[in-house]
Amino acid sequence: MARIQLGMVGGGNDAFIGGVHRIASRIDDRFELVAGALSSTPEKSAASAEALGIPRSYGSFEEMAEAEAAREDGIEAVSIVTPNHVHAAAAKAFLAKGIHVICDKPLTSTLEDAEALAASVAEAEALFILTHNYTGYPMIRQARAMVASGDLGDIRIVQAEYPQDWLTAPMENEGVKQAEWRTDPARSGAGGSVGDIGTHAHNLACFVSGLQIESLAADLQSWGKGRKLDDNAHMMLRFAGGARGMLWSSQVAPGNENALKLRVYGEKGGLEWSQEDPNYLWFTPLGEPKRLITRNGAGASEASQSVSRIPGGHPEGYLEGFATIYNEAADAIRAVQGGASRESAMGVLPDITAGMAGMRFINACVTSSANDAAWTKL
Amino acid sequence: MARIQLGMVGGGNDAFIGGVHRIASRIDDRFELVAGALSSTPEKSAASAEALGIPRSYGSFEEMAEAEAAREDGIEAVSIVTPNHVHAAAAKAFLAKGIHVICDKPLTSTLEDAEALAASVAEAEALFILTHNYTGYPMIRQARAMVASGDLGDIRIVQAEYPQDWLTAPMENEGVKQAEWRTDPARSGAGGSVGDIGTHAHNLACFVSGLQIESLAADLQSWGKGRKLDDNAHMMLRFAGGARGMLWSSQVAPGNENALKLRVYGEKGGLEWSQEDPNYLWFTPLGEPKRLITRNGAGASEASQSVSRIPGGHPEGYLEGFATIYNEAADAIRAVQGGASRESAMGVLPDITAGMAGMRFINACVTSSANDAAWTKL
Amino acid sequence: MARIQLGMVGGGNDAFIGGVHRIASRIDDRFELVAGALSSTPEKSAASAEALGIPRSYGSFEEMAEAEAAREDGIEAVSIVTPNHVHAAAAKAFLAKGIHVICDKPLTSTLEDAEALAASVAEAEALFILTHNYTGYPMIRQARAMVASGDLGDIRIVQAEYPQDWLTAPMENEGVKQAEWRTDPARSGAGGSVGDIGTHAHNLACFVSGLQIESLAADLQSWGKGRKLDDNAHMMLRFAGGARGMLWSSQVAPGNENALKLRVYGEKGGLEWSQEDPNYLWFTPLGEPKRLITRNGAGASEASQSVSRIPGGHPEGYLEGFATIYNEAADAIRAVQGGASRESAMGVLPDITAGMAGMRFINACVTSSANDAAWTKL
Amino acid sequence: MARIQLGMVGGGNDAFIGGVHRIASRIDDRFELVAGALSSTPEKSAASAEALGIPRSYGSFEEMAEAEAAREDGIEAVSIVTPNHVHAAAAKAFLAKGIHVICDKPLTSTLEDAEALAASVAEAEALFILTHNYTGYPMIRQARAMVASGDLGDIRIVQAEYPQDWLTAPMENEGVKQAEWRTDPARSGAGGSVGDIGTHAHNLACFVSGLQIESLAADLQSWGKGRKLDDNAHMMLRFAGGARGMLWSSQVAPGNENALKLRVYGEKGGLEWSQEDPNYLWFTPLGEPKRLITRNGAGASEASQSVSRIPGGHPEGYLEGFATIYNEAADAIRAVQGGASRESAMGVLPDITAGMAGMRFINACVTSSANDAAWTKL
């Protein structure tokens, strides 16, 4: 089957997430990266493209969208991996040309941008896929399926947390590029930790529980000296239907590297999953011994096996989970190219709706915290 | 050294915590249990006393206080292990006779009772010791000492949780005695999970961090059908001095037996401890590999070694932690008998102040939740 | 019920295991320690007895056996907690007087002594109980019961290991008393690590699997400079009936405190247990998710519950496991005093047969290793 | 940089390891798979090639070697992923044409084949790389570097184990293709578990410790009904220089998926690593708290960081470790193409020497076991 011709916006040298997208696009061999507008200047872009063996380089995403749309062998899809404030404009440019968009999260840096982008997506014929990559982990898929099938009974409690420690010291003042833009409201938006990682925890909590947050009460803090955005956020959650929860995001908790963790409890049982040990899922049916289900091992269901590549005991990781989003994006693109509806093609892929939910989440966090943690609707 | 003559109020057949106090009082061989008013009727009390080999049995705590105070070889201390609503009256009866009191937590079932008891304690010459037993764990002692000595730098974040699952189903309607009184406001007080276990998490968070909670915002729920008290509580914490935290207590989280867990983060490092694996303490100095410190193992400090009995790798557990409270109570009793001041004798033993803090914590939880989780001062 | 009057031989100041026996004897309140010959001289013995609140002190075990047997209120049982080379003579002295013996392991320092002791035990009316304390852990009891009931099918493989690190450096040359006698053939016998800890691993492997070792091939080493006894031992095992296994004991494996671990695999499932986390038992039925069974938690059977004191999630440890041996010893003593046969009274308590098996194990290890690891019958 | 043109022998439909090699070759974007002789017949090969998007398909490896060597744009390297008995002939065919060989392990099915292949490798100018993939894990690299730099002092003990459970039941009689050839001496060689997985454990033990096995005493068993090759192997190891060790390989240990584990102890400290949780490395310096070093986290050294792709806390897994072998193979191929010596180009890549060591290991295991576990030189 022919590989999908792919372009990339952002992701030049030193950009962590750009490299991740490229590996993820290769793992299942569904894409061929042939074009890029990788950096902020044509020269840097060209240098990065050459270093990466990408044949066509452009000076800007606008130029790229124009030129690729005009080629017969032009890109069919584009990955947008810039800082948040560029997402909306870039995505709109490619959607307008009928090029499918795979966009990093959070959706945009402002709610206004997000709404404009959502309008464009609604009008477009191309697909818009948001890389909430943690939904690609096999055991997250299984957790979602187990909740949906009633293994936990009615859901009562959802505990989500995402602590990190890399901003414990004020790295943004020490020349760390990743730290600079992520702590800059102009480039990241109104949310600090809540935007960068809280959105992942929020997304995952909803993805697995099948529930939507109705309102939240949030207490945001900035511990790094001179930091403008939150680097630690505490919040309580009320889900539609009555379930309750808590969410903690932090970038200042020493000893935590990327410790996204989700726990869901219903009247019949519980589930626990940790991103740093992603091949395991604890299932705790009430009154029975705890069960440790392993990816592709005994107890693994179709939901997790279908997105696994190798046998149990051979750990898959972050890149494979990310690759599953790309693999399913390829399926979806081929499906709509073959005439399927956008909705049916998307399956469980994170979409503009998930992106808008994330933006409303960030907004509610910031608003609630400004109102002394008053309950705030999403 | 002569053993301290001990009495017990409550703790007859089927009472979990009474048996725990008795074992704890024996482990370090500092007490001899010689008198009891173990049950609600003289007959039951006598039967329990005989079964337990306790020589003197009384029909009520009033009678026991009176009689023992009159004996030359009467009890020097009494353990009060009744349901919460009896604590205050019993404690006052013994304090009035100069008999030292070791009382289970929470302090009382109502704030009024607590204040009255506090007044009695203030006037008494005898000691009042509250068995916040989790403070007796060696690695908790070490954690406290490490925070106090600045190993973590200024504390920023305290995450405490105490999930259980034993009330997931409405056990109080199925004849489970433990469940009956713990879900009954008349016997337990205004707090359900927040009183029974939230107070432990609160106490431990303060004990280790050295900080006091200034205000909290709490969202309490009752999931068990017809249950009057909370069985799940979410809350955000603001500590005096600026640190922030979260606390979760639950009795309806399937798969959690007694999963008290504390995490403390400062600008220089973090600590993590779990009650179910109490011989381990994670210390995560920023920028260094995680260190797993073991009780009486390499890295264990005087603070934990001094309350350990056996070498590292030979696990001590819940009963030994509890016994440390008894052992230190014996030290304190002998010290005041020898003329020491009550304050110097108490050391780090949990006292009436900790008990009052717990009562204010319960009250603040209930008040805040009734006000839609408004910030409420303690 | 009246407490059993207990004496102790050995266990003076600084003796680790003596203190353990004393706590273990108190936990379930079945014994009262009233007499001792705690040290090598009458003066030291008296000082230790006074410090410990033991009313009667003797200058030697011979004197104690004589005097106590003559008293109407004399001891009914004695704990022998000396270095290994004293076990036999002491045990025989008390057995000859009809006093029940609770003896630390290994049985003796030489096979000759062991055989002589076995002969005395066979003739005696009193009980002889060996404190293979690890058999007292609740989850070990459950593991044994699960194997016996066929949950694993026919047993194929038994992997036992017991690494420690305390003799990595030559501590015996640095004045550490524990290290001195344990590395001295005159006091410990022919086995170093195999005698001190290998016997525990051997005992546990047999206790849980229900199998006996037919022959073994062992490679023993001494890494500590100038050390006369093995401090690391590797061996392969052949069990009667065909199962195979491995056993590793070490005192020179840095990072291991007391890491006794047992894994048993049959045609239908497996079991894994670690002494340092004793409240957990992994059960892995073939083709099903791994199950983590917790002490007194869901999935805990009668075999473990009956030797548990407190609810699941409230960790019991080394001392409680040891106390179970004492508690069952009390049951057995009362039973034979009431006329029961010795055999029926002993139940699963480790006895002279287990002790002799341990001695043959040590002997086989040393013999095999001297013959270049030739297979050696036990 | 231009991608290396790659061919593949074996790896048609249903072949687990072929798919792994393909993903591994793509992850770091250094190879382009352009030719294949994927199956045993030209028709099946062509069908597989088409399904995988491989442009050139051949009916046999001989044909492929011939044809590709004749093309100007022919393959520069070939991956051999057939059952073991085909390795030697295929490798020799490509080496003879100057095409670099990346070959799955174990080297061959017989020692004779292995020696013949070794002779061919010695004469060839092309590289021969054996995919002992577990050496590609970052924390294994760090472990090796730590041992080499003396962090553990002189190595005393090496404990390796590799239990699995997939052959607990006789799957080879139930049509499982993987089980069929791996239990067939004609296709696998004389070793069952020792050849399939024991060689990995052996290789890793030597790779990390820097030591070679001098002799071993092995006890091999076949538990599966009618099984001709060992499915469980116990052995004791003696390393050149005096260190000792144990190795256990099993395919019949229920609950173990792919539980390769290595522990190395020296006079100054220890290391522990588990393949199923590969991003962690325990370092236990004697007398200090245990340290948990994480991939690309605090404490990670250049040795592990240089083969990591993403930050700590973002787990890399089996495929990434495998990809590192491919990435370094690409470096090595480009280096020799640029004139470097084969030796300097290979770096730490597993080579024919490692392959021969593996063959001698299998042979020694089988020979020793046939001689009642007599010590057998490698």
Q: Does the pLDDT at position A176 exceed 90?
A: no
Q: Do D315 and A317 touch (CB under 8 A)?
A: yes
- Minimal CA separation from D256 to chain C, in Å: 9
| pLDDT score of D1 | 64
Q: Does the CB of C48 have a partner CB in chain D at under 8 Å?
A: no
- Is the same domain home to B64 and B207? no
| pLDDT score of C173 | 84
- Is the same domain home to A112 and A215? no
Q: Do C3 and B53 touch (CB under 8 A)?
A: yes
Mean pLDDT of A302-318: 97
Q: Does the CB of C299 have a partner CB in chain A at under 8 Å?
A: yes
Contact between residue B61 and residue B37 where contact means Cβ atoms under 8 Å apart: yes
Residue type, B303: A
Nearest-CA residue of chain C relative to B295?
C257
Give the best residue of B151, B157, B288 to mutate against chain A (max A CB count within 10 A): B157
Q: Does the pLDDT at position D175 exceed 90?
A: no
**pLDDT digits 0-9 by tens, D274-299:** 999 999 999 999 999 999 999 999 99
Q: Do C256 and B317 touch (CB under 8 A)?
A: no
pLDDT category at C179 given cuts 50, 70, 90 is confident
Q: Does the CB of B291 have a partner CB in chain D at under 8 Å?
A: yes
D144-153: string of b/e by CB count within 10 Å (b at 16+)?
A: bbbbeeebbb
Angle at CA of residue A123, ends A117 and A129, nearest 5°? 55
**pLDDT digits 0-9 by tens, C347-373:** 999 999 999 999 999 999 999 999 999
- Is the same domain home to C108 and C77? yes
Distances B295 to B298, B303, B312, C295 between C-alpha atoms, Å: 8, 10, 5, 21
**Which of C286, C287, C299 minimises the CB distance to A289?**
C299
Q: Does some domain include residue B348?
A: no
- The secondary structure of residue B71, as a DSSP letter, is S
Q: Does the CB of C274 have a partner CB in chain D at under 8 Å?
A: no
Indicate if the alpha-carbon torsion angle B142, B147, B149, B151 is positive or negative.
positive
- Is the same domain home to B109 and B191? no
Who's near D299: CB < 8 A, 6+ residues apart? B288, B289, D283, D291, D293
**Which of C283, C288, C298 minimises the CB distance to A299?**
C288
- Is the same domain home to D60 and D190? no
- The HSE-up count of residue B85 (CA atoms within 13 Å, CB side) is 11
Q: Which residues of chain B have pLDDT under 50?
A: none
**pLDDT digits 0-9 by tens, A92-117:** 999 999 999 999 998 998 999 999 99
Q: Do B276 and C23 touch (CB under 8 A)?
A: no
Q: Does some domain include residue C236?
A: yes
Helices B16-27 & C16-27 angle (0-180, nearest 10) = 150
Give bridge partners of residue C103 from the DSSP assignment: C80, C130
Q: Do A27 and D1 touch (CB under 8 A)?
A: no
- Is the same domain home to A148 and A233? yes
CB atoms within 10 A of CB B285: 17
- Minimal CA separation from D283 to chain B, in Å: 10
Q: Does some domain include residue B322?
A: no
Q: Does the CB of A302 have a partner CB in chain D at under 8 Å?
A: no
Give the best residue of B319, B326, B334 to mutate against chain C (max C CB count within 10 A): B319
Q: Do B299 and D293 touch (CB under 8 A)?
A: no
Counting as contact any 3 or more CB pairs under 8 A, the partners of B are A, C, D
Q: Does some domain include residue A345?
A: no
Q: Do C258 and B312 touch (CB under 8 A)?
A: yes
**pLDDT digits 0-9 by tens, A274-294:** 999 999 999 999 999 999 999
Backbone angles phi, psi at A29, to 5 degrees: 65, 35
CB atoms within 10 A of CB A210: 13
Q: Does the pLDDT at position D179 exceed 90?
A: no
- The secondary structure of residue B339, as a DSSP letter, is T
Strands D155-163 and D261-266: antiparallel
Host domain of residue C299:
136-309+358-377
Q: Does some domain include residue B288?
A: yes
- Is the same domain home to B141 and B119? no
| pLDDT score of B18 | 94
| pLDDT score of D248 | 98
Q: Does the CB of A286 have a partner CB in chain B at under 8 Å?
A: yes
Token pair listed for B7: 């009495």
Q: Do C291 and A291 touch (CB under 8 A)?
A: yes
- Minimal CA separation from D149 to chain A, in Å: 26
Q: Does some domain include residue A317?
A: no
**pLDDT digits 0-9 by tens, C150-162:** 999 999 999 999 9
Residue type, A121: V
Give bridge partners of residue D281 from the DSSP assignment: D293
How many residues are present in chain D?
378
Q: Does the CB of D3 have a partner CB in chain A at under 8 Å?
A: yes
CA distance D147 to D270: 9
Tell me if the bond preceding A106 is cis, omega within 30° of 0. yes
Q: Does the CB of B16 have a partner CB in chain C at under 8 Å?
A: yes
Q: What is the CATH number of the domain that holds D104?
A: 3.40.50.720
CA distance B273 to B261: 6
Size of interface A-D (CB pairs under 8 A): 108
- Is the same domain home to C122 and C142? no
Size of interface C-D (CB pairs under 8 A): 120
Consecutive H or E run containing C265:
strand C261-266
| pLDDT score of B26 | 97
pLDDT category at C185 given cuts 50, 70, 90 is confident
- Minimal CA separation from D265 to chain C, in Å: 6
**Which of A169, A234, A270 minimises the CB distance to B255?**
A270
Q: Do B53 and C318 touch (CB under 8 A)?
A: no
| Least confident piece of the model among A10-14, C203-207, C208-212, D176-180 | D176-180
| pLDDT score of A1 | 64
Tell me if the bond preceding A278 is cis, omega within 30° of 0. no
Residue type, B311: P
Q: Does the CB of D297 have a partner CB in chain B at under 8 Å?
A: yes
| pLDDT score of B127 | 98
**pLDDT digits 0-9 by tens, A13-70:** 767 899 999 999 999 999 999 999 999 899 999 999 999 999 999 999 999 999 999 9
Q: Does the pLDDT at position C168 exceed 90?
A: yes
| Residue that terminates a domain, selected from B126, B153, B169 | B126
Counting as contact any 3 or more CB pairs under 8 A, the partners of D are A, B, C
CA distance A226 to B281: 33
* Interface list for B 254-273 with A (CB within 8 A): 254-256, 263, 265-270, 272
Helices A111-123 & A352-370 angle (0-180, nearest 10) = 160
Backbone angles phi, psi at C180, to 5 degrees: -60, -55
Q: Does the CB of A299 have a partner CB in chain C at under 8 Å?
A: yes
CA distance B104 to C95: 45
| pLDDT score of B1 | 64
Contacts of A266 in chain B (CB under 8 A): 254
**pLDDT digits 0-9 by tens, C119-161:** 999 999 999 999 999 999 999 999 999 999 999 999 999 999 9
Contacts of B1 in chain C (CB under 8 A): 53
Q: Do B298 and D289 touch (CB under 8 A)?
A: yes
Q: Do D298 and B288 touch (CB under 8 A)?
A: yes
Backbone angles phi, psi at C143, to 5 degrees: -60, -45
* Torsional class of B372: left (φ above 0), alpha (ψ -120 to 50), beta (otherwise): left
- Is the same domain home to A209 and A297? yes
Nearest-CA residue of chain D relative to C263?
D253
| Residue that terminates a domain, selected from D126, D160, D195 | D126
| Residue that terminates a domain, selected from C103, C126, C149 | C126
Torsion of CA D21, D22, D24, D26, to 10 degrees: 160
Please give the mean pLDDT across all residues of chain C.
Answer: 95
Contacts of D288 in chain B (CB under 8 A): 298-299
Mean pLDDT of A215-241: 96
Mean pLDDT of D81-93: 95
- Is the same domain home to B215 and B265? yes
Q: Does some domain include residue C364?
A: yes
Q: Does some domain include residue B376?
A: no
Domain total in chain B = 2
Q: Does the CB of D294 have a partner CB in chain B at under 8 Å?
A: yes
Give the best residue of A291, A296, A305 to mutate against chain C (max C CB count within 10 A): A291
Mean pLDDT of A172-182: 81
| pLDDT score of C200 | 97
Contacts of D283 in chain B (CB under 8 A): 289
Who's near A38: CB < 8 A, 6+ residues apart? A8, A9, A10, A11, A12, A18, A44, A45, A48, A49, A52, A54, A57
CA distance C190 to C197: 13
Contacts of C282 in chain D (CB under 8 A): 255
| Least confident piece of the model among A88-92, A123-127, C177-181, D53-57 | C177-181
Nearest-CA residue of chain D relative to C165?
D286
Nearest-CA residue of chain A relative to D28?
A23
Q: What is the ipTM of this complex?
A: 0.95
| pLDDT score of B170 | 87
- Is the same domain home to B10 and B57? yes
Give the best residue of B268, B291, B294, B301 to mutate against chain D (max D CB count within 10 A): B291
Q: What is the CATH number of the domain that holds D178?
A: 3.30.360.10
- Is the same domain home to B120 and B164? no
